[in-house]
Amino acid sequence: MGVYYVVEPVPLSVTSLLPIVLLPFLGILSTEEVASFYLNNTGLLFMASLMIATAIESSDLHERLAFKCLLTVGTSEGRVLLGLMSITVFMSMWMPNTAVATIMGPMAIALAAKMVMPSYHQVPTNECFKQNGDAGGDHFEVGIGADPSGALIKKNHDLLKKILLLSIAYSSNIGGTGSIIGSSTNILFKGIIDELFPHSTELTSATWMLYNVPPMVICTAIGWMYLWLVIRISRRKAHCLEAKNDIRREIQQQYQRLGSVSFAEYTVLIILAAVILVLFFYKPHFMTGWGDLLKYGNKIKSSSPALAICFLLFVLPKDPRNLHCSEPLVSFKEFSTKMPWGIVILFGGCLSIAEASQRSGLSAIVINTLNGLRDLPSGLVLVLLCFSGCFLTEVVSTYVVTGILTPIISELAVATRVHPLYFLMPVKACCLFAFMLPIATGANAILCDMGRLRTIDMMKMGFVMNVACVMVQLAAIHTIGPLVFDLYRFPSWATRDFGIVSLVGNDTFALSLNATLAEEMVSTTAAAMMTT
C-alpha cells in the first residue's frame, strides 16, 4: 500500500479502501474496527469545516472581506500584495486551501492588470522617461503594442501576475497551519494523535492556535517582504506613474457592486465566530473550558459542537423577510456537490493503517531500525525531520506524508522519552510548507494553471520560502512550544509499552536529555540557521 500511496497508480482515495479488505483478512483488525475509522470524529469535523466554507462562498462574504481589506490596506503595489496575503491567510484558516486559491486567483490576475499602466493610458510627459513622437501636447499614449515601452509594460504585468499568484499560493498554504480546520491534513493529524495517544489532553483547538498563529503571522510577513523585494529588484518600469487611482476605483466599484451587507453575510459571520469560540474554549488546556463543566463532557468530541452550530446553516433563511420562498444559507444539494468524499475515505485509510501498525508490531520494527538516532541530539533530529517533511511533500501527497510520518515520529519520541509534540507540531506545520512544485498542493496546481507559471520559477522562489518557514517553525517550537505544551516534561499520557528496545541507553541519559533540552534546542537551531 505504501508504494500505491507514493506512486499513485490509482487515486489515493481508492487505495485507501484497501485496509477494509486487507486488514481483516490478515487478522489484524476486524471489519467493524476498520470501518469505524472511515467516518468518525475526524471525518465529521472535516464536514463541519466544509459546511462553513460553503456558507462563506455562497453568501459572497469572502468577496466583501477581500475587497474591504484591500481598500483598508491601500492600493500601492506593496500594500495590494500585503492585503491579498492577509485576507488569503485569514480565509485559509477556515476554508480549504484549494477553495481559497480558486477564489483569490482571479482577483490577483485582475489586480495585476490594473497595477501596470493600462493600455493607451494618458501620462504627463514630465513624469515619463520618453515621449511618443506622434503624440502632441503635454500627454502621450502608452500602448502595449504601440512602441518598445509596451513590451516593458507587458513584462511588468507578467512579473506582477506571477508574484501575486505566488503570494496567494504561499499564504493559502501558510494560513492552513493556523487552525485545526484550516487544512484537512491538520484534521487527519489530530485524528492520528487521538488514536495513538487517547489520554492526551494537550493538543486542542486552543493550544493549536496559540502555538501556530504567531509563526503563521511571521511566515506571512517574511513571504510579503520576500515577494516585495523581488518586485523591487526584478521589475523594469516602463513608466513612472503608478495606477493607484485606477486600482482603488476598480476595487471600490466591485465593493459597491455587492451592495449593503446582507442578512446571510451577517449570519454566516456570526456562525463562523461561534464555531471558532466554541472550539477554542471547549477544553483549552490552559484554563477550565465549557467541556470540563459538563457532566458528560468527556464523551463530547470537537465535531459535536461544530456540527450543532453548522446545523443552523441548513435551517436559517437567506432572506428572513420572505420565509416561505427563501432558500437556507446552505442547501444540502450545494453542500453535497462540494463535499470531497474521497478525502473522508483517505482519512479512514490513514487512521486504520496507523492503528494496524500498532496492533501488528510494525511500529516497533521501524523504531528498532532507527537506533542510529540515539546518539544524535534531539534538536538535530528535529531539524532533519522538519526539512524531510517539508521537501517530501513537494513530491508526495501531504496526506501520505502525514499518515506515514506521524505514527513513526510518535513512536520515536516516546522511545527517546522526548515530548511527542516537540517533534510532531513543527514537522506537521512543515508538511504544509510546499511552495516549490505545482503538484505539491492543490492550491499550487490551481494557481500555476491559472497564471501559466513556469515550474522553474516556482522552484527557485519556493526554495527560499521553504527554508525560511522551516527555520521559523524551529524557532517557534523552542520559544512558544514550551509555554503552550510544557515540552521539558515527558507527559504521563505518552508512557506506553511498545515492546521495543529503548533508544535511550540508561536512566541517567534519559533524565539529562530533558534537563538539557532547552540549551540543546537553541544551539542546534542557531547552528542550522548559520549553515543555511
Question: Is the pTM higher than 0.85?
Answer: no
Q: What is the mean pLDDT of residues 379-394?
A: 90
Q: What's the pLDDT at 168?
A: 93
3-state secondary structure of 281: coil
CA distances, 196 to each of 88, 351, 420 (Å): 33, 10, 11
The C-alpha atoms of residue 283 and residue 298 are separated, in whole angstroms, by 10
Q: What's the pLDDT at 372?
A: 65
**Residues whose CB is less than 8 angstroms from the CB of residue 407 and which lie 6 or more positions away in sequence, other chains included:** 192, 196, 354, 357, 358, 363
* Dihedral pair phi/psi, residue 317, rounded to 5°: -85, 155
Question: Does 139 score more than 50 pLDDT?
Answer: no
Least confident of 99-103, 248-252, 299-303, 475-479: 248-252
The larger pLDDT score, comparing residue 207 to residue 495, is at 207
* pLDDT tens figures, 259-313: 888 899 999 999 999 999 998 888 887 778 888 888 887 788 888 999 999 999 9
DSSP structural state of residue 117: P
Place of cell 464536514: 47
Q: What's the pLDDT at 314?
A: 93
Question: Does 518 score more than 70 pLDDT?
Answer: no
Structural domain boundaries in the chain: 60-262+361-531
Q: What is the mean pLDDT of residues 503-524?
A: 44
Least confident of 187-191, 247-251, 388-392, 495-499: 495-499
CA distances, 443 to each of 8, 111, 183, 502 (Å): 19, 19, 12, 41
Per-chain mean pLDDT for the chain: 80
CA distances, 183 to each of 106, 278, 352, 457, 488 (Å): 22, 18, 20, 25, 28
Cell triple for residue 226?
520576500
Single-letter residue type at 174: I
DSSP assignment of 419-461 equals -HHHHHHHHHHHTT---S-TTS-HHHHHHHHHHT--HHHHHHH
Question: Does 88 score more than 70 pLDDT?
Answer: yes
Q: What is the mean pLDDT of residues 421-438?
A: 91
* pLDDT tens figures, 316-371: 988 888 877 788 999 988 898 888 888 888 888 888 887 887 777 776 776 677 66
**Nearest residue to 379 via CA among 477, 527, 520:** 520
Question: Does 509 score more than 50 pLDDT?
Answer: no
**Residues whose CB is less than 8 angstroms from the CB of residue 256 and which lie 6 or more positions away in sequence, other chains included:** none
Question: Does 500 score more than 60 pLDDT?
Answer: no
Q: What's the pLDDT at 370?
A: 64
Question: Does 124 score more than 50 pLDDT?
Answer: no
Q: What's the pLDDT at 78?
A: 84
What share of the chain has pLDDT > 90, as a percent? Answer: 23
Question: Does 488 score more than 50 pLDDT?
Answer: yes
**Nearest residue to 427 via CA among 488, 378, 354, 460:** 378
Cell triple for residue 104?
483569490
Confidence of residue 243 (pLDDT cuts 50, 70, 90): low
